[in-house]
Structure formats: structure tokens, C-alpha cells
């Protein structure tokens, strides 16, 4: 499981940072990639990665500001040009209005897609659990921005225990069908009468990973709820230390406020993105140090950076 950041800037693209988009790579878990926000130029960023657009099966939109959605029509259209690959449907989750934006853009531009888009819109009254599969559950909660905006909590369900093959061989179990029976939790009896209790050779279930990926927001209690005990919290840091007043007036957070959220939530790791273009490379190091005085480990991500979860 990996996070790859396609755009880490705020508001408008700069030479160093494109606007908002990131992907959660779940290739080993379910052979899918999930995208969160799709700002202008996202499809260009994808060209610099190993991501296959057809593997992107779900797109989660945090809010309808342009720097988070203007890349959708282009990405969806280009995804259909992969004629040599299987066309697969895509699910788009987001605030009410995202369906109208996408379909209007495609209609006006005369774009025809060879796959279906399944829209899942929500408003303030329909938040909570928005997706559950056999391996993942996704929740959405309202944040505090200048328009309706949400954050997402992605929870991987507990993983099955692993079989201790060496211990099983040492107990005299020959490799083959009996191994499979024990792995499936079935007790067996060997030819010499030895009883093999499957539970003795399978480790306990392992807890799945939890991620919180937030949209634009002032510091709010919902951010903490979404990030409780998260393995990774992705939080915006549009502004820096001392910018609390302007951050609040624009509906954003500072690096210090993001660190406070991570600390209050008991998150394990904090990744900061959505950085204002006013901050130069020398400022980024100071922003990280300032946030680190409140919470560690903290890292300010760059475009195209990939983080192992």
C-alpha cells in the first residue's frame, strides 16, 4: 500500500507544485488504485509515474473548488483512449454537484466514454460510511472550509493470520493438500495419529491500516475524529507559523494546526501537502521544523513523491 502525490500545491500550479491530487495504490491488496481529488494537470502528472489510468477504479473528491476538480474531464476522457486495454467502470464519490460538473463538461466537449461512471453524491445529511467492500471501509465527515468540504477515513479490515510453514513442516506435515487445509483453519490428523490444531500454526489476525485524507479545512474537531489512531494523516498546510489569522479567513490551516490535529488524534505519521506557492524551498524546511516541535514524525511531501504505508 502506497500513497503517491500528484499535486501538492494550493490554489494554482507553480513551477514546483501542481494543484491537488493524490492516489492510494492498493495493487497488492485489491489490484486497484484510488484517487483523491483531481486538479488541473493531473493526467500530465500521471505520465511521470507508473500508474495505469484503467487501474484507477474510484475517485474521491473532497470539495468542488477548481484546484481539486478541474482535471477530471481531461483525465476521464484520456482514460478512454486506452483501446488496447480493458475498459473498466469508475466510481466517483463527492459533494452534490460533482455529477453535474462532470457530465456537463463531457457533454459540452462532445466527449463519449466507453465505460460507465457511477456517481455517489452526498451532502451534510448523508455523511458517515460511504463505502464498504470485503477489505476496506471508507467514511466521510464534514470539515470547515469556505464551501462544503469533507475528509475521508480509509480503514483496511483486519488481515488474515499467516501460516507458519516451517513450524508445520517440523511437526511432520508433508507439503501439499494438508498444508492448505491447515491454512484454511481446518484441524487435521496425521497417519501416525498426531493431531494438528490449525490455530497453533496460524498467527493472529493483523490489524489493517488506517489513513485519513483531508480536504481544505480550518482546524476542526472533525479532522481529529477522522484521524484517530491513523497510521497516516494527510493534512493541508497552506500557511505557516504565525499565519493563523489569514488561514482562518481563507478556510485553511497552518502547519502548526495540522500538527496539533495529528497530536490530538494520536496519529502515527503526518504528511503535509497543499502548500502555498509563497513558500520557497528554504521555507519548507523551516515549516517542517516548526510542525515537528508539536508532532513527530512529520514530512512535507513533494509532487510525484511516493510514501509506503
User: Which residues, 6 or more positions from 187, have their beta carbon under 8 angstroms from its beta carbon?
Assistant: 195, 196, 197, 198
Calculate the alpha carbon distances from 47 to 4, 152, 230, 298 in Å: 13, 26, 30, 28
Distance CA 292, CA 274 (A): 18
CB neighbour burial string for 155-186, b if at least 16 within 10 angstroms, e if fewer: bbeeeeeebeeeebeeeebeeeebbeebbeee
Distance CA 151, CA 94 (A): 10
Could you tell me which residues are beta bridge partners of residue 254? 239
Q: Is 188 helix (H, G, I), strand (E, B) or coil?
A: strand
Distance CA 252, CA 241 (A): 13
User: Which residues, 6 or more positions from 182, have their beta carbon under 8 angstroms from its beta carbon?
Assistant: 163, 168, 173, 188, 196, 198, 201, 202
Give 111's DSSP letter: -
Extract the annotated binding site: 63, 65, 67-68, 145, 216, 274
Q: Is 58 helix (H, G, I), strand (E, B) or coil?
A: strand
Say which of 37, 67, 243, 290 is annotated catalytic. 67
Q: Does the annotation count 283 as an active-site position?
A: no
Extract the annotated binding site for Zn(2+): 63, 65, 67-68, 145, 216, 274
Place of cell 477548481: 66
The residues assigned a catalytic role are 67
Amino acid at each position: 500500500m502506497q500513497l503517491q502525490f500528484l499535486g501538492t500545491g494550493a490554489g494554482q500550479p507553480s513551477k514546483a507544485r501542481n494543484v491537488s491530487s493524490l492516489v492510494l495504490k492498493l495493487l497488492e491488496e485489491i489490484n486497484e488504485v484510488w484517487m483523491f481529488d483531481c486538479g488541473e494537470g493531473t493526467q500530465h502528472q500521471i505520465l511521470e509515474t507508473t500508474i495505469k489510468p484503467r487501474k484507477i477504479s474510484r475517485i474521491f473528491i473532497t470539495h468542488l473548488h477548481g484546484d481539486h476538480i478541474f482535471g477530471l474531464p481531461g483525465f476521464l476522457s484520456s482514460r478512454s483512449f486506452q483501446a488496447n486495454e480493458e475498459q473498466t467502470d469508475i466510481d466517483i464519490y463527492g459533494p452534490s454537484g460533482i455529477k453535474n460538473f462532470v457530465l456537463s463538461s463531457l457533454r459540452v466537449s462532445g466527449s463519449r466514454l466507453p465505460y460507465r461512471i457511477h456517481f455517489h453524491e452526498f451532502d451534510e445529511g448523508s455523511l458517515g460510511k460511504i463505502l464498504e467492500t470485503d477489505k476496506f471501509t471508507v467514511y466521510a465527515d464534514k470539515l470547515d472550509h469556505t464551501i462544503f468540504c469533507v475528509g475521508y477515513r480509509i480503514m483496511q479490515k483486519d488481515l488474515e493470520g499467516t501460516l507458519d510453514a516451517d513450524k508445520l513442516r517440523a511437526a511432520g506435515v508433508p507439503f501439499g493438500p494438508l498444508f492448505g487445509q491447515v491454512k484454511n483453519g481446518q484441524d487435521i490428523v496425521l497417519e501416525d495419529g498426531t493431531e494438528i490444531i490449525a490455530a497453533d500454526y496460524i498467527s493472529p489476525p493483523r490489524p489493517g491500516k488506517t489513513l485519513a485524507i483531508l480536504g481544505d479545512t480550518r482546524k476542526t474537531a472533525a479532522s481529529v475524529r477522522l484521524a484517530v489512531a491513523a497510521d497516516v494523516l494527510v493534512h493541508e498546510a497552506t500557511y505557516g507559523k504565525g499565519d493563523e489569522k489569514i488561514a482562518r479567513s481563507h478556510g485553511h490551516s497552518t502547519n502548526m494546526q495540522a500538527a496539533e490535529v495529528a497530536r490530538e488524534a494520536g496519529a502515527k505519521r503526518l504528511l503535509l501537502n497543499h502548500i502555498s506557492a509563497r513558500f520557497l524551498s528554504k521555507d519548507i524546511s523551516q515549516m517542517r521544523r516548526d510542525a515537528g516541535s508539536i508532532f513527530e514524525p512529520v514530512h512535507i511531501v513533494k509532487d510525484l513523491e511516493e510514501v509506503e504505508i
